[in-house]
Structure formats: structure tokens, C-alpha cells
Chain A
Amino acid sequence: MLEIIDIHKTFNAGTINEKRALQGVSLHLKPGDFVTVIGGNGAGKSTLMNSVSGAYPVDEGKILIDGVDVTHLPEHKRAQYIGRVFQDPMMGTAATMQIEENLALAARRGKIRTLRTGITKKERALYKEQLATLGLGLEDRMTAKVGLLSGGQRQALTLLMATLQKPKLLLLDEHTAALDPKTAAKVLETTQRIVERDNLTTLMITHNMRDAITYGNRLIMMYDGRIVVDVSGEEKKKLTVEQLLSLFSKASGSDEVNDKLLLS
């Protein structure tokens, strides 16, 4: 479903601030794969995701989604294949627009926006149903401005928006990191439920190693712009945090970064 072939990305090339954020990353996701991504701060996890979503172009390499080469497609065109939830709860929704308006915008992802009405009665009924499944009471506040919602509510809404139209690929970049533990757990639960229900191919970055082990059928770890650990299937199920740590120090060849990963 997703094929990343040897992509490279360097920021500020040729300056003293040069940062080689991705140094040859290849990754192949089968339909229905739910891959968790861990790695220390600055390992290149977000850069990987932004390269896939098209937020910025890669310097080298290829990206294919469901067989379509999207390497040179602009971000808004790739959006027809991709659902996204960002780390910052402010980023995924339009604060000054209503809940139902946000959903209506998301429902038209990848479609031509015409001069037909922006939201129909039929849609409203559908959104009400969908919002109810979140269990946050948002179904009774459909015309409230999204800016009035809490971070957790906004992330849940963004998740719903990302999956309202089944995406070929769901990208989650530490989407629970800004939330308090209880809310984070709830949003993660919702994520799991939706991913399972729609059998979504998912890439989820997390800073929580336990979550990385618990969720998904495959786990990758990044270090210094590369994928250094890649476990899946039975092997992943049996994984412990301690094992993960030792895998990491082996891959990175140092103990000191061990702490770096733990701390992040």
C-alpha cells in the first residue's frame, strides 16, 4: 500500500545548519499494516511522515501509494490518499469554523469543490452518528466552533475527519503527545477501534514505547535518519521495553543514546 524507496532529505543543505534528516529510508507497508514508529528526538520520524504527506519534497528517492507514484505530487493532491492527525491539536482543525463544517470539509477530501452547498442535511445526520461513536458528546454541539473544544476533543475530531473518507494511508504523528494521560489513552483507543474497523494501513509515531509495542502489527525504530530496528508479527508481540532498549543500543552502537531514547 505504501512503498518508500530510499528517500533522502537534507535541510539547509550547504549551510552550517545542514541537517541530514533522512539518509536513505526504505519502507514497504502491506494493506492493513499498522506500523508504530519510535526513535529519539530529531531521529527523522516527523520528516519521514511529512515526506510521505508531501509537506515538503524529498531530495532523492520515490514514494508510491497503492502503486501510484506520488513523489512529485503537491501536498493537497496527495491528500486524496492520506488521512493525517498532527501532534499539535490546533493543526488538524479550523478553530473558527463549526464542528460540522470541519467534517464537511474533510468529507470532500480529494474531490473537486464545486458551487454546491457546502454541507447537506443528509451529511449532518451522518456526522451526528459518527460523532456519537466518539463518546464525547460532540454530536450535540455540531454547530459549535471547534476552537471551543479541548485538545483531546480536537484530536478525536481530527481523527474522525482523517478517516471520514477511508484513506489509503493514515498518518499519525505523536497525535496523543500533547494530551493528558487519560485523554491520550482514550484517543488511542478510538484510533485502534477505527483502524481495526476500516482495516486502515497506518503509520503511527509515538514517544511511548509501551504503546508502540501494544499497538500495531509491526514496529520500526529510527535513529539518525535511518530505520534501525524493524520487528513484526510474533516477534513484535513478545517484545518488551527492555528488549527494545537493547535493540536500540545495538543498532545505534552506543549506550549514551539509550538514555536519549528513554528520555524522549
Chain B
Amino acid sequence: MERLLNFGNALPGVLSLGLIWGIMAIGLFITYKILELSDLTVDGSFCTGGAVCIVMMAMGQPTWLAMVCAFLAGMLTGAVTGFLHTTCKIPAILAGILTQLGLWTINMIIMGIEKGELVSTLTIPARNSKPLVSAMFLKTALNGTKPVYMYPPFVLVVITACIIGLLYWFFGTERGASIRATGANEHMARAQGINTNANKMLGLMLANGLVALSGSLFAQYNGNSEINMGRGAIVIGLAAIIIGDVLFGKLFKNFALKLLAVSFGAIVYYLVIQAVLTLLQVDSQYLKLMSAAIVAIFLTVPNLGGHSFKKHKKEAPVCSK
């Protein structure tokens, strides 16, 4: 009973984290599903977003500016991977790993920019703390005195809706459609005069911009940025995409709904994790192994031919709206 109560109390937090990681997963969706690229930059760019955001807030900059800069910094990381992949012809996976590795140091430099040394954890000083979303707020506001629009889940739903709306619009434009074509069939794209390299670059930048934005929200939520915060992000993102597809794929055909499904997928993922942690009281150290196993299973099932599980054909890239 007490466990159930704990689980219930944790729900607003679970919802918040799910929504935050959902934004990251939507970024990943652009590279993984639309462009059919496996981009491992995200583990690094997630932290870059957090680092840039927290450093700027610590220096007294407004929160919105810190988030915009986090987004831009994320785009820059995507551009590096894009450059390594398209210009240097390094396979996408390796290009992402290289960027991610380099970002490990870069992120510590960013966090230590004030001190002039490498820093692995940075907390927002209380005097400058004006986070858009925060776990502390959830704890202190549970007595129910704050207006609804200040609650993290509400704020995050609005942000997610804006992002989905913007992406829906963008991928319907001439340029957006050409990115979808690049992922669907490179031969055709080039034959139709589409600069596939430029589009991959743009997709990687947009995706990592979103990942970094998600990282900036995650850092605000926790009140700090930490060098390991993005570790395993790619697995969480893939889990969200796959869970969203398994649960809502049949229902959601429209592009905007598919993005929504990714966000739902992230929330479901966090619900399951939370249930395992509080209801079953599993040690949180087991989480990474569990996550990896879950994703591996879900990635395997569609390839088994479908006799053991619901028939779920390997899906082509999502290039249609």
C-alpha cells in the first residue's frame, strides 16, 4: 500500500521526466526514422544542452536565452557529426561516436567556463535560479497553492506541443519534404536535384538542437548539469520511439501523431521504470541493463518473422506525412 502511495506521489515527476526525454526522442526520431541515420551524438549533445543552459543561468542570463543557446549549441554538435559524415565520408555511427567522445571534454570546458578549469557538475546558484521546470517545485508545490501553468508537466506539454507543431509544419515545406525524400531514397533525391549531404547535415543539426533543448530542460529540472547526464540517452530515445510505435503505430498514421506517439513512448518508458523501482523495489543500478535489454528485445521482435509476437513488419523510414 505504501509502495502504491509512493508510486502515486512520483507520477507528476515521472510525467515531467517522460516529457523531457520525449523531446530528446523526437530529435532522435528525425535522424533515426526520417533520415535513417544512426546518430550517436545525442549522448553528448544532451549534456551540451544542459551544460550551456546551466552555465548561462549561473551567470545570471535569462532562462529563455540560456535555452536558445543550448539549442544552438546542440545544432553545432550535429553540424560536427554532419561534417564528419558527409564531407569526411566517415560512417554515420562512427562520426557520432567521435563527436560524442569529443563532447565529453567540451562539456566539462563549458561547465567550467567561469572557473577556467574542467568541471563535471555544475549547480545553479540559488540567487540565479529561475528554472522553467524543476523537481523542487513539484516537491514544494504539492500542497497545491501554485497556479496550474507553473507546474512542470503543464509547461512541458506546452513545449512539446509547440515542437510537434513546428516540426509538422517544417516537414511539410519544400525543404522539409526534401529531407524526407533524402531518407526515403537517396538516389531518387539526387536525381531530383536534392543536395542529400546538405539535408543530412540539416537533419542532424535540427535533431541535436532538440536533444540539447531537452538536455537544458533536464538540467533545469534537476537544478544542475552533470557530465554523465546524457549517458544512455540514445537507448532511452530508441525505447521511446519503439514503444510509441508498438503502442500507437496502428492508430497514429499522421506525421504529427507519430511524433506525439514518440512523446507518449517516453512517458510510458518512465512509468514502467518508476513502477519497477517503487512497486518492485528494484535497485536503480539495474536500470541500465534493463533498459538495454528492453530495447534489444523490441528491436529483435520485428525481425523474427512475427510468429511469436504480433506481426510487426520492419518498418520503412517515416517519410510521409
B297 near A: Cβ within 8 Å? no
What's the nearest-Cβ distance from chain A to residue B314, in Å? 12
Complex Cα gap A106–B180 (Å): 13
A108 near B: Cβ within 8 Å? yes
Given A76-B190, A76-B194, A79-B192: A104 touches B177 (CB 8 Å cut-off):
yes
Q: Indicate with 1 or 0, residue by residue over A100-123, a CB within 8 angstroms of chain B CB atoms.
A: 011011101111011111110000
A151 near B: Cβ within 8 Å? no
Given A96-B320, A113-B178, A115-B173: A76 touches B188 (CB 8 Å cut-off):
no
What's the nearest-Cβ distance from chain A to residue B307, in Å? 24
Residue in A53, A102, A117, A162 whose CB lies within 8 Å of B174: A117
B316–A97 CB distance below 8 A: no
B320–A97 CB distance below 8 A: yes
Closest chain B residue, CB of each to CB of A106: B192
A86 near B: Cβ within 8 Å? yes
Residue in A92, A108, A110 whose CB lies within 8 Å of B188: A92
Complex Cα gap A113–B181 (Å): 12
What's the nearest-Cβ distance from chain A to residue B113, in Å? 34
Give the contact-size bracket for chain B: 20 to 34
What's the nearest-Cβ distance from chain A to residue B25, in Å? 20
What's the nearest-Cβ distance from chain A to residue B135, in Å? 37
Contacts of B174 in A (CB 8 A): 108, 113-118
A249 near B: Cβ within 8 Å? no
A32 near B: Cβ within 8 Å? no
Closest chain B residue, CB of each to CB of A85: B191
B319 near A: Cβ within 8 Å? yes
A239 near B: Cβ within 8 Å? no
A98 near B: Cβ within 8 Å? yes
What's the nearest-Cβ distance from chain A to residue B194, in Å? 6
Residue in A86, A119, A147 whose CB lies within 8 Å of B316: A147
B62 near A: Cβ within 8 Å? no
Q: Indicate with 1 or 0, residue by residue over B155-179, a CB within 8 angstroms of chain A CB atoms.
A: 0000000000000001011111110
A77 near B: Cβ within 8 Å? yes
B319–A94 CB distance below 8 A: yes
Given A101-B320, A108-B174, A118-B174: A95 touches B193 (CB 8 Å cut-off):
no
Given A114-B175, A116-B173, A118-B173: A94 touches B193 (CB 8 Å cut-off):
no
A186 near B: Cβ within 8 Å? no
A226 near B: Cβ within 8 Å? no
What's the nearest-Cβ distance from chain A to residue B176, in Å? 7
A76–B175 CB distance below 8 A: no
B185–A94 CB distance below 8 A: yes
Given A97-B320, A98-B320, A147-B316: A92 touches B177 (CB 8 Å cut-off):
no
A84 near B: Cβ within 8 Å? yes
A161 near B: Cβ within 8 Å? yes
B192–A108 CB distance below 8 A: yes
B60 near A: Cβ within 8 Å? no
Which of B177, B189, B191, B321 is most buried by chain A, counting CB atoms within 10 A of its CB? Answer: B191
B193–A101 CB distance below 8 A: no
Residue in B193, B195, B318 whose CB lies within 8 Å of A108: B193
Contacts of B170 in A (CB 8 A): 115
Contacts of A252 in B (CB 8 A): none
- With A113-B178, A117-B172 already in contact, 5 other A-B pairs whose C-beta atoms are closer than 8 Å: A79-B192, A97-B319, A101-B177, A105-B177, A105-B188
Q: Which 7 residue pairs across A and B have the least CB separation, nearest first?
A: A79-B193, A94-B184, A118-B177, A113-B174, A96-B319, A109-B193, A113-B175
* Contact surface of B with A, Cβ cutoff 8 Å: 170, 172-178, 180-181, 184-185, 187-196, 316-321
A–B pairs, 18, beta carbons within 8 Å: A75-B190, A76-B189, A79-B191, A84-B191, A91-B188, A93-B185, A96-B184, A96-B320, A97-B180, A97-B181, A101-B320, A102-B188, A105-B177, A108-B193, A110-B193, A113-B173, A117-B172, A119-B177
* Contact surface of A with B, Cβ cutoff 8 Å: 53, 74-77, 79-80, 82, 84, 86, 90-98, 101-102, 104-106, 108-111, 113-119, 145, 147, 161-162
